[in-house]
Structure 1
Amino acid sequence: MKELLIIFCLAVILDIIVGDPEKLTHPVVIIGRLISWLEERLYQIGSAPNSLIFRGGILVIAVIITVFLITAAIIKVSFYLHYWIGIIVSAWLFSTTLATKSLKKAAMAIYLPLVSGNLAVAQQMLGQVVSRETSNLSSAEISRGAVETVAENTVDGVIAPLFYGIIGGPVLAFIYKAINTMDSMLGYKNDRYLYFGKAAAKIDDWANYLPARITGISFVLSAILLNLSAKKAIASWQKYAHLHPSPNGGVPESIVAGALGIRLGGYNWYHGQKQFRAYLGEKEREIVPEDIITTVKMMYIVVFLFTGAVLLLIIGLLLLGGIR
């Protein structure tokens, strides 16, 4: 457990200071290629729904097993070479499953042109992190998209991999990341993926259930620390979270909306079609670019609170002799 604690701490530090590798191929990209390769071989046009569900399930199992074997092998070989090589490689691998700095970077890339009046660049930057059409969005709509992105991705981009990483090390963190990547690639409710992506979407919902609620509680605490309304955050969680199309995504978004006194959700355009997503939060005022900065601050506090809680728990258990 001491070893895992060192790896955990190093991974968090690497993620916050260094962030994702820019010159190396990101491991998640490699997982994505594996998913695409398997999809080409397992998906059959015209197959019956049950057949597509089965084939999608085979893909999920194959990806999880492959990621487990490769990650475990890399870590095992690293420790075989030298103890500290194993620690460093494990921490680096773990850090690539986290996205704290990446989320901040993406948010700032939207915020800075927005406040300088360069709406076109802000639209373009938002378009890199969301699937909705952004070319005609107003400043408030761009700000909404950025706030929603940071709030929701705090779960699957930070807290969930930390949660699974402290339970099962980098291997389990990578398995979670593979599950999340499968959902992002296959979990659409359209003609192609409604059945084929069902297993990927369902297992992602299960995997994010606890992390989303841990993130929710942490967001409420962050509201207190930033002198925002924790009471309204909790009320918004209770009233609006279940309206979100994702059983987990509505938790952080509704809490952030309540804490800031803004309303998220609403109309978006996807591939030329206007779609409505349920409103989250009470509209006490218009969304402004500064809400992006506040949401990023809340995200960092959530990360520090979760990391601190984990460290206190493990150190306490070590001192009590409950674990070694």
Structure 2
Amino acid sequence: MVYLEIALIAYVIDLIFGEFKITHPVVLMGNYIKWFESKFYKDSVFAGAALGVSLVLIVGVVSYILENILLSLGSFGVLAAAGLGSMAIANNMLYESVKRVINHPEEIRFLVSRDTDNLTQSEINRAAIETYAENLSDGVIAPLFYLAVFGLTGAFVYKAINTLDSMVGYQNSRYANFGKFSAKLDDVANLLPSRITAILISLLFMSKRAILKLWKFGKLHKSPNAGYPISAIALALGIKLGGATSYFGQIVNKPYFGDGREEIKREDIYRALKIKKRLDIFIIVTLSLGVLFC
């Protein structure tokens, strides 16, 4: 199946080269969202749904046309499609961004939406690990899944949905209605990938505890998806994530994910990041077998 081949090559390209120094499609999607909001914003679900549907349609149609043109070009087209597909995967960027927090804790402000001015070192470490686990799903497994199953169209429609959620899917006075459609759409799109990610985290850390208990803790999160990979990595590392967190000056009392120690150390970030090499090997081997036998 050609989509598996594209996904395999795309993953390897991201692994070797990381982000290309060109305008990222997500930036273009973000620009469209800002333009639409500036012109058509209303405090209504309908206006937000119009934004979501219009962006998904535009991205879907453009991706579909481009994909079919490229696949008509044979092997060169497959390679070009994989190059584009790699831009939907943020594996290297995520790893390097979280790793930098170990020696540059102030950079946590670039990775999270929570208030960061008065975080303790343990809270910074906790935020870094939570971000890594959640974004393994949003930035790696989910786009790779949609790329392998639905090709470039699937991968970039997913990125459009994820970008909508990250920009307008907030529960505040401005976006509670306008961003509701985008937030729900993102919930649906991540329903399966988030659980795949949680299972992979548990298996790659060889943690029976995580496999057995992630379902109990994962369902406690306000999000129907984010709690599963966060719970899996907390249980695998023997730590406790979640808890009281400040957003826009307000304390949100999240439930705890995991039942280990609450004090999170820098070494725990290193331990969390060790999954990357195992994940790289697993994905490359799995996709290679898929290309050979499908």
Shorter-chain TM band: over 0.9
1:131: Cα distance to partner?
Answer: 1.1
Distance 1:72 1:302 in 2: 29
The superposition leaves residues 269-324 of structure 1 with CA deviations (integer Å, 9 ceiling, x where unpaired) of 2222222221111133621112112212224423432443343244223xxxxxxx
Distance 1:171 1:40 in 2: 27
The answer (yes or no) to whether the contact 1:131–1:270 under 8 Å persists in 2 is yes
% identical equivalent positions: 40
* Structure 2 residue 65 is matched with structure 1 residue 73: yes
The superposition leaves residues 191-249 of structure 1 with CA deviations (integer Å, 9 ceiling, x where unpaired) of 1111111111111111111111111111111111xxxxx13213431321111121111
Bigger radius of gyration: 1
The answer (yes or no) to whether the contact 2:52–2:161 under 8 Å persists in 1 is yes
* Structure 2 residue 55 is matched with structure 1 residue 63: yes
Distance 2:31 2:277 in 1: 31
* Structure 2 residue 8 is matched with structure 1 residue 9: yes
Distance 1:231 1:178 in 2: 35
Bigger RCO of structures 1 and 2 (CA < 8 A, at least 6 apart): 2
1:74: Cα distance to partner?
Answer: 3.0
Write the letter of the residue equivalent to 2:13: L
Write the letter of the residue equivalent to 2:292: I
Secondary structure in structure 2 of the residue aligned to 1:170:
helix
Matches within 5 A, 1:4-43: 4-21=3-20, 23-43=21-41
The answer (yes or no) to whether the contact 2:6–2:148 under 8 Å persists in 1 is no
What TM-score does the superposition give when structure 1 sets the normalisation length? 0.85
Matches within 5 A, 1:79-158: 79=71, 82-111=73-102, 113=103, 121-123=104-106, 125-158=107-140
* Structure 2 residue 291 is matched with structure 1 residue 293: no
The gaps in structure 1 that reach 5 residues or longer are 46-51, 114-120, 225-229, 318-324
1:78: Cα distance to partner?
Answer: 4.0
What TM-score does the superposition give when structure 2 sets the normalisation length? 0.93
- The counterpart of 2:148, out of the listed 149, 162, 166, is 166
2:225 paired residue number: 248
Distance 2:280 2:187 in 1: 21
Distance 1:41 1:88 in 2: 38
The superposition leaves residues 49-90 of structure 1 with CA deviations (integer Å, 9 ceiling, x where unpaired) of xxx11221121111111001222333344456x434422321
Secondary structure in structure 1 of the residue aligned to 2:190:
helix
1:270 paired residue number: 247
Secondary structure in structure 2 of the residue aligned to 1:243:
coil
State the number of aligned residues: 294
Change (3 A) 1:249 1:298: same
The answer (yes or no) to whether the contact 2:99–2:273 under 8 Å persists in 1 is no
- Which stretch shifts more, 282-291 or 181-190? 282-291
Secondary structure in structure 2 of the residue aligned to 1:151:
helix
The answer (yes or no) to whether the contact 2:85–2:152 under 8 Å persists in 1 is yes
1:117 paired residue number: none
Give the CA RMSD over aligned residues.
Answer: 1.8
The gaps in structure 2 that reach 5 residues or longer are none
The answer (yes or no) to whether the contact 1:154–1:299 under 8 Å persists in 2 is no
